Amino acid sequence: MIAEYIALFITLIYSFIILLFAFGWMKLRSSEMTEEISKNPVSIIIACRNEEKNIPSLLQSLINQSYPKNKTGILIIDDHSSDGSISIIKKYSEKYEFIKLLKLPDNQSGKKDAINFGIINSNSDVIITIDADCIAGPDWLQAMMNYYITYRPKMLSGPVTFRNPKGIFPKLQNLEFLSLIGSGAGAIGINKPIMNNGSNLLFEKNLYENSNLMSEFASGDDIFLMLHAKSIDKKSIHFIKSKDAIVYTKPAQSVTEFFNQRIRWTSKSKAYRDFDIIFTAVIVTLINALLVLSAVCAITDIYFLKITLSVFLIKSLIDLIILIPVTCFFKQSRLLLFFPFVQLIYPLYIVTTVISGLTGKFVWKDRKY
């Protein structure tokens, strides 16, 4: 009986949180392109390490932007690449004066240092970060800047999804990734920001300069910067709900790469002191741990099978309430065909990732952390 009450309590709180996120997603204003083009200077910062296969596509997508080239600065910071990335970037920088290659000093390494080095060397008051394995549509920069000029947020989080995921594993990743994007956007919509994505992030330079980011963590500047902005004014953090503002990235190519990425994301959680983030993370972890534990107990005691099935069903229905509008926005509703399978493996994946992220090590860009 006690187990049922505990399960009910956790499930109700989880359901309330997800419903709030769904409400926040629906509350976000849809942002459409306007004929007027913002002419404010902007610096695009790209950290690059061994991206010879991806950097040409990104740079070409940035060259094709409708935003004025004389107001755009693209700074690519090479993080000691050992492949042909530098030679590729040099060819672009020699052809286009608004593209510049910067080499990270020998005493610095990692994405965090690369982004910082790029911002220090930028000459614009507005910064946008995008990852080297991404591409953007032709009106991406205009959409981001028009929104910024109209509403003046300190930080603007943009939508991110995978480009042309083929195969079951990439599509499973995409559905899970969209749940994160939707939840993060929904949390911003109710003025309770808990996450964003550095692959598509605009912020004011002075916000970064006045922040105190956690240098001991290999990643997380996007979240730590968001928390700094939140401490000043949580309403200054916006999400742009515009299809023109979507950035497309790549899924992990292997299960090992996928878990290394997720463990890297989780590892910085030890530094969080924000109630909204901690409370959400704890409840999400608890309901998934509950499903794993009750499923194991159900093997020897049929009593726990009822709990497992009840929690699984309620959680699935609640998750769909936010996933349906989010996948519709990205025009990827077909991904919901994989929803039952994702729901089955998700609890074990979450529990494993949380434990590994808090206690284990990971590999990122051929470096061990």
Structural tokens at position 217 = 């963590």
pLDDT score at 23: 98
**Which domain-ending residue is among 231, 248, 265?**
248
Residue 305 covered by a domain: yes
pLDDT score at 37: 64
Q: How far apart are CA 86 and CA 104, in angstroms?
A: 12
Pairing of strands 367-368, 363-364: antiparallel
**Which domain-ending residue is among 248, 263, 283?**
248
Residue 115 covered by a domain: yes
Residue 321 covered by a domain: yes
Residue 183 covered by a domain: yes
pLDDT score at 222: 87
Same domain, 107 and 220: yes
CA 4 vs. chain centroid, Å, equals 35
Task: List, run by run, the mean pLDDT of 10-residue segments along the chain (369 residues).
Answer: 89 98 94 68 96 95 95 95 94 95 91 92 95 96 94 96 90 96 97 95 94 61 90 95 96 87 79 90 96 94 92 97 97 96 94 81 69
Residue with tokens 């590729």: 88
pLDDT score at 321: 97
Same domain, 9 and 36: no
Same domain, 210 and 136: yes
Q: What are phi and psi of 363, to 5 degrees?
A: -115, 135
Residue 253 covered by a domain: no
Same domain, 17 and 97: no
Q: In DSSP terms, which residues pair with 43 in a beta bridge?
A: 73, 127
Same domain, 171 and 303: no
**Which domain-ending residue is among 214, 248, 282?**
248
pLDDT score at 214: 53
**Buried b or exposed e, range 296-326, using 16+ CB within 10 angstroms:** ebbeeeeebeebbeebbebbbebbbebbeeb
Domain containing residue 197: CATH number = 3.90.550.10
Same domain, 179 and 83: yes
Same domain, 187 and 63: yes
pLDDT score at 272: 82
Same domain, 282 and 209: no
Same domain, 177 and 241: yes
Same domain, 65 and 126: yes
Radius of gyration (Cα) for the chain, nearest Å?
21
pLDDT score at 360: 66
Residue 244 covered by a domain: yes
Tell me, letter by letter, the H, E, C secondary structure of the chain: CHHHHHHHHHHHHHHHHHHHHHHHHHHCCECCCCCCCCCCCEEEEEEECCCCCCHHHHHHHHHCCCCCHHHEEEEEEECCCCCCHHHHHHHHHHHCCCEEEEECCCCCCCHHHHHHHHHHCCCCCEEEECCCCCEECCCHHHHHHHHHHHHCCCEEECCEEECCCCCHHHHHHHHHHHHHHHHHHHHHHCCCCCCCCCCCEEEEHHHHHCCCCCCCCCCCHHHHHHHHHHHHHHHHEEECECHHHCEEECCCCCHHHHHHHHHHHHHHHHHCCCHHHHHHHHHHHHHHHHHHHHHHHCCCCCHHHHHHHHHHHHHHHHHHHHHHHHHHHCCCHHHHHHHHHHHHHHHHHHHHHHHHHHHCCCEECCEEC
Structural tokens at position 255 = 């299960």
Same domain, 60 and 123: yes
Residue 263 covered by a domain: no
Residue 12 covered by a domain: yes
> Domain residues for 351?
2-24+273-360
For the chain, the domain total comes to 2
Same domain, 237 and 280: no
